[in-house]
Amino acid sequence: MLFFISLLMVFVSSYLCASVFCTKDKNHKPCGPSGFLYTLITMFAQVVLTFELLSLFKAINKTGVLVLNIFFLTISICLWLKKGRPVYIPRVKKTFEDIFGALKKDKILMIMAFGFVFYMAAVVILDCIMPVSGGDALTYHLNRASYWLHQGSLNHFVITDDRNLVMPINSEIIYLWNLLFFKNDIGLFFVSFIGYIGAVFSIYNILEYFSFSKRRILWTIFIVSSFASVMAEISSLETDVLLAGLVLSCITLYLYALKEKSVFNIFYAALVYALAMGTKSPAIIAFPGVFLLLAYFSYRTQKKEFYKPLIAFAGFLALNFLVFSSYNYILNFIDYSNPLGSESAKAVHGFRGGIKAFVANYIRYMFMLFDFSGFRYSEYVGEHITNAKLAILAFLHIPQDLGVEMSDYNEINNRFINVKVGAGILGFLVFLPSLVAAVVAGIVKRHNKKLTALCAFAAMFFINVFCLSFSIAYMVFSIRFLTFLIVISSPVIALSYMKKTNILKLLILFYVMSYFLIMSVNLSGRQFGDIAKLLIQSPSFSQAREKIRCALYIGYEGKAAFCYIRDEIRKMPTGSKIALFSTASDKFYILNMLNSHGYKIDTLLPENAPLYDLSGYDYIIVSDKVLISTVLTKTTAQTKTEYQIDKDGNAYFPKYRPFTCVYEKHGRGFYTSEAKNGIIMDSRCFIDIPFFEKRGFVIERAYDFKAETPQASSYITIYKNTRK
């Protein structure tokens, strides 16, 4: 109940601000798309600012949040009263009349609309039912929010996965808001869904701004919505579609600022882009392309004074970034002397390989558009597509793996796995041809403002891929970044609309409806049939959610290792103090939330094990035989090693030690301080039984979890303190 009170106060205060800033006169003349976007952006900014302010005093708690909600609501009410109580009234009726009118003119669009409604219903059901179960979410996205919850601040904490520390934080602050009041993750998928709504709303208004027909607009929205990666992300904690919604909102507001001469639109455009830069790093990578797009439209409308709105935008962006997005960048600078993160994080994710790697990355990203998610066609043509890519690299004398951090092994994707899913068949059937057509049409018909506008969006895509190609190392998971770039350039799809029904239009309809009706209820790990069966069989809704979260196999069978450990901890006396020596891939969230239920669980760095006073702990849990940590206690230059390297490249100590740590360098192999052979990527520590016995602990239980891959296996040991 308290969460909904907080949500209501945030919404009302944001709506009042939107009414004040977007209404044009005392007669409350409608203000276009600004009012809706102002409301969403102000809500996001207010939540971020609330938690940042509380974090400064380590006061993140329910009372603190509600007090600041009341404070911001009071200010907004006073401002609203002072400005004559303006009311923003959205154009809902007129918009739906336009949409229905367009659908009546095109039966293909009408069919797509039915599929779209089914798809939206499926997404809402999934977002209401599904627990957070993704690996990235449980080890990183949601996990960091659980640590902030228990320490009362957004400051860095002890963890073995550095992504929890160095990455931008704004979306996770929204998760924290939910966790604070509910103490669970129910409803969190709606964050991405709302980002999708913002993206669709912005696409609609961008195309309307350039006077495209409603049929072209709906065509574009239906096709974007049926992209496989978009479908997968709006019912997950991945933030690429959310990020696209923020950036498209920025573009929308800037366009209407040029049209309406509105400084508030420029301010909000800068604010939403600043929030995007604090949400995920691709917003920073895409900034040159987006800024050039804004500059182009400024020049087209303002001519010689085109620089004035750009200067205002840049100034507001700098201010808003400092207030709403710089928090974790500042923490990174304090802890690592670099706002972008640690030495090892830069080495792993940073671009390398020179001009050839840049060219190779550009080619790889363009070939990522050839994605067959949900269809098996790649089994027949995938080899030919791969051979074409390899032939181009060979022709340019570029090694296949140059600049690659995580390889896709030259496979063309056809699965619906979240972290690997691409745009699907419509990505290369519709989006790619639309890009090419927009560029050609914009050049050939330079005086057609509609076509040159789409040409600008197409150019932005190619510029953004250019920037991505030299910003980070290539990874198979970079398909998510490409999803972001595709969605923000998706207005070009309007060019592919055909008024008359033909074989190509029917083919596109087939794939759109296939994704809407079939793929939407058969996403990897989220099959509706299995979910319904489990809900019917489970004694309660909460038990069904936990079985889904812990499942290992299709049909939600089996139980993950950390769920076993969580259940073992629940058998311990309430109030037990537990030390956790973990490895970087552990799903920390599952255990860390037990801190909200009477337990005291501290995550400790394996590398610092000899330095801890363990006598105050009742239990110690060691999550594997070898504990990997990407969070390091020293820089590479400060690290001294005592182990030796044999002729096969293996690290060893001449004599047995109950505690040892070795350091893996980037590019694999082990680092030695004598050779100074690279940048340390992670530590790998082994803590043997005698280490704990010396400190009064004995083994109480041990679990050897076997899996098909070594990465999924683990050996978990629970020690009990005999001196307490």
Written as one letter, the residue type at 380 is: Y
Q: Sort strands 600-604 and 577-581 into parallel, antiparallel or unpaired.
A: parallel
Q: What mean pLDDT is predicted for residues 662-682?
A: 85
Query: What does the pLDDT look like over 628-654, one tens digit per residue?
Result: 999 999 999 899 999 999 988 899 999
Q: For 251-257, what is the mean pLDDT?
A: 96
Question: Hey, which bits of 455-581 come out as E strands?
Answer: 474-475, 522-523, 526-527, 577-581
CB distance 508 to 429 below 8 Å: yes
Rounded to two decimals, the pTM is 0.95
Question: Does residue 390 lie in a domain region?
Answer: no
Residue-wise pLDDT for 482-516, tens only, equals: 999 999 999 999 999 999 999 999 999 999 999 99
In 3-state terms, what secondary structure has residue 417? Answer: coil
Residue 677 has pLDDT above 80, yes or no: no
Q: pLDDT band for position 269 (50/70/90)?
A: very high
Give the 3-state secondary structure of residue 179: helix
Q: Rounded CA gap, 512 and 510, in Å?
A: 6
Do 279 and 239 contact (CB within 8 A), yes or no? yes
- Over its C-alpha atoms, the chain yields an Rg (Å, rounded) of 27
- Among the candidates 291, 310, 341, a domain finishes at 341
Say if CB 115 and CB 519 are below 8 A apart: no
CA 365/CA 408 separation, integer angstroms? 11
Cα dihedral 178, 179, 183, 184 sign? positive
Q: Give dist(CA 437, CA 273) in Å, integer.
A: 29
Residue 477 located in a structural domain: no
E strand or H helix at 682, and its extent? strand 680-687
Question: Among 6-20, 200-214, 340-354, 613-627, which stretch is predicted with the lowest mean pLDDT?
Answer: 340-354
User: Given pLDDT bands bounded at 50, 70 and 90, which one contains residue 24?
Assistant: low
Q: Residue 596 and residue 152: Cα distance in Å, rounded?
A: 12
- What is the C-alpha to C-alpha distance for residues 405 and 346, in angstroms, rounded to an integer? 12
Taking the C-alpha atoms of residue 629 and residue 308, their distance in angstroms, rounded to an integer, is 49
Q: Which residues contact 341 (CB under 8 A, 6 or more apart)?
A: 162, 165, 166, 167, 332
Q: What is the Cα–Cα distance from 396 to 410, expressed in whole angstroms?
A: 17
State the Cα–Cα distance between residues 1 and 49, nearest whole angstrom.
22
**Residue 628 belongs to what H/E stretch?**
strand 626-629
pLDDT tens figures, 141-165 = 999 999 999 999 999 999 999 999 9
The candidate with the shortest Cα–Cα distance to 125, out of 207, 193, 64, is 193
Tens digits of residue pLDDT in 345-389:
888 888 989 999 999 999 999 999 999 998 988 888 989 999 999
Rounded distance between C-alpha atoms, residue 602 and residue 592, angstroms: 8
SS3 state at 543:
helix
- Decide: 674 and 696 in contact? Cβ < 8 Å: no
Q: How confident is the model at residue 523 (pLDDT cuts 50, 70, 90)?
A: confident
Start-to-end CA span in the chain (Å): 41
Residue 258 lies in a domain: yes
pLDDT at 105 over 90: yes
Amino acid, single-letter form, for residue 418 = N
Between these two residues, 418 and 647, which has the higher pLDDT value?
Answer: 647
Are the CB atoms for 637 and 680 separated by under 8 Å?
A: no
Tokens for 410? 């030259």
In a domain, 146, yes or no: yes
Contacts of 24 (CB under 8 A, 6+ apart): 31
Q: What is the pLDDT of residue 711?
A: 65
Sign of the CA dihedral running 264, 249, 76, 174: negative
Looking at residue 580, what is its pLDDT? Answer: 97
Give how many domains the chain has, as a whole number.
Answer: 2
Q: Which domain, by its residues, includes 636?
A: 561-721
pLDDT, tens digit (0-9, with 9 covering 90-100), for 467-485: 999 999 999 889 999 999 9
Sequence-distant (6+) residues with CB within 8 A of 209 are 252, 255, 256, 259
- In which element (H, E) is residue 704 found? strand 697-705
Tell me how far apart the alpha carbons of residues 498 and 579 are, in angstroms, rounded to a whole number: 63
Beta-carbon-side half-sphere exposure of residue 332 (alpha carbons within 13 Å): 23
Task: Work out the average pLDDT over 39-58.
Answer: 98
The pLDDT score that the predictor gives to residue 25 is 47
Q: Which of 431, 91, 491, 45 is nearest to 297 (CA)?
A: 491
| Greater pLDDT, 352 or 322 | 322
pLDDT in tens, 443-458: 999 999 999 999 999 9
Separation between Cα atoms, residue 63 and residue 59, nearest integer Å: 9
pLDDT in tens, 434-445: 999 999 999 999
More confident: 677 or 43: 43
Closest by CA position to 684, among listed 658, 662, 701:
662
